[in-house]
Amino acid sequence: MFGSSASMGDPIASPPKQILRFRDSIAETHEARTFRFDPPREGFAWRPGQNLVMTIPGLEDPRGATRPFTISSSPTEGGMVAVSTLVRESPFKQRLAQLAPGDTVENEAIEGEFVLEAGRPAVMIAGGIGVTPFRSMLRFAVDTRLEKPLVLLYSSKTPQDIVFRAELEEFTRRNHAIRVVHTITRPEEAREPWTGRKGRIDAEMIREGMRGVRHPLVYVAGPPGFVKEARRLIDDELHIGKEDLRIDEFDGY
Ligand SMILES: Cc1cc2nc3c(=O)[nH]c(=O)nc-3n(C[C@H](O)[C@H](O)[C@H](O)COP(=O)(O)OP(=O)(O)OC[C@H]3O[C@@H](n4cnc5c(N)ncnc54)[C@H](O)[C@@H]3O)c2cc1C
């Protein structure tokens, strides 16, 4: 048949999808996993802190087959793109956990203004899995030998929930401009002696983190409850202006 509706063209051209080929996955904690993919050889670029938008083709999930995920790898890590997530019960996460090497997923977009700004010191405030953009930024800072101060204040439930724990320690050894301060909110559930900070991130912890850091950009990332509380501290107690603040809220937690 001539002139089929398909040949008339779609009214709105959809952006081309990019294929990500699953390579492998790494357990980060009892619940968190990093999934590594080979991106297309061309046309795939991101800035540390940005997110991709992943679709698992053919997946049936009441919440849809698409999720935004921050890219937890750094562009300096050569031909690999990674996302890190808590593997929970949703069909999406279960399918992700079952990917075999060579399986493919689709990327709809690379987005976000939550990016490392070259030339500015930063104070990064992370709750739980909200640490993913900071892993990308800090790894980038190590690989490119950035010398501006970068302070990560990272709240986890317990020591066993700290994602990228060994790597974060390694980053501070390899780049002395990087400082990482952990706090745990459920010390009673710790499976190891914990001599570090306990309790939620409060204004005092942020003030201490900012001490000696001149005119930092303040980043906050985490689940909505964490971001809400951090915003309250920032607005009511620390009075950090919008121009010095970047927020990444992980909807869906
Ligand atoms: C910019 C951005 C970056 C992000 N980066 C990351 C990241 O790096 N890592 C990461 O892990 N996540 C990230 N997220 C969140 C991610 O996109 C998912 O939303 C999250 O991982 C939860 O996915 P899920 O499949 O486990 O849960 P979903 O199936 O999406 O469910 C989300 C929540 O809704 C509840 N729910 C499920 N079904 C229903 C229903 N029918 N009615 C009501 N409630 C329901 C679930 O219990 C759960 O609490 C990011 C989100 C944004 C917006």
- Residue 40 neighbours by CB distance under 10 Å: 13
Domain ranges of the chain: 18-111, 122-249
Give residue 6's pLDDT: 40
CA–CA gap between residue 64 and residue 87 (Å, rounded): 16
Give residue 16's pLDDT: 77
- Mean pLDDT, contiguous 10-residue spans, the chain (253 residues): 41 76 98 97 94 97 97 95 97 98 97 93 98 98 96 98 98 98 98 97 97 96 97 96 96 89
| Among 188, 138, 135, residue whose Cα is nearest residue 28 | 135
State in Å: Cα 148 to ligand 1 middle.
33
197-198/178-184 β-pairing: parallel
State in Å: Cα 212 to ligand 1 middle.
37
pTM equals: 0.93
Of 28, 36, 69, the one to substitute when testing ligand 1's pocket (max ligand atoms within 8 A of C-beta) is 69
Q: Is domain 122-249 in CATH 3.30.70.100, yes or no?
A: no
Give residue 13's pLDDT: 60
Handedness of CA 38, 135, 109, 98 (dihedral sign): positive
Q: Is 69 in the pocket of ligand 1 (CB under 6 A)?
A: yes
Q: Is 225 in the pocket of ligand 1 (CB under 6 A)?
A: no
CA–CA gap between residue 122 and residue 55 (Å, rounded): 32
CA–CA gap between residue 228 and residue 248 (Å, rounded): 11
Q: Element (H or E) spanning 230, and its range?
A: helix 224-232
Give residue 1's pLDDT: 34
Give residue 11's pLDDT: 55
State in Å: Cα 129 to ligand 1 middle.
11
State in Å: Cα 113 to ligand 1 middle.
20
Give residue 15's pLDDT: 63
Fold assignment, 18-111: Elongation Factor Tu (Ef-tu); domain 3 (2.40.30)
Please count the residues of the chain. 253
CA 251 to centroid of chain Cα atoms: 12
Burial class of 123 by CB neighbour count within 10 A (0 to 12, 13 to 18, 19+): buried
Give residue 118's pLDDT: 79
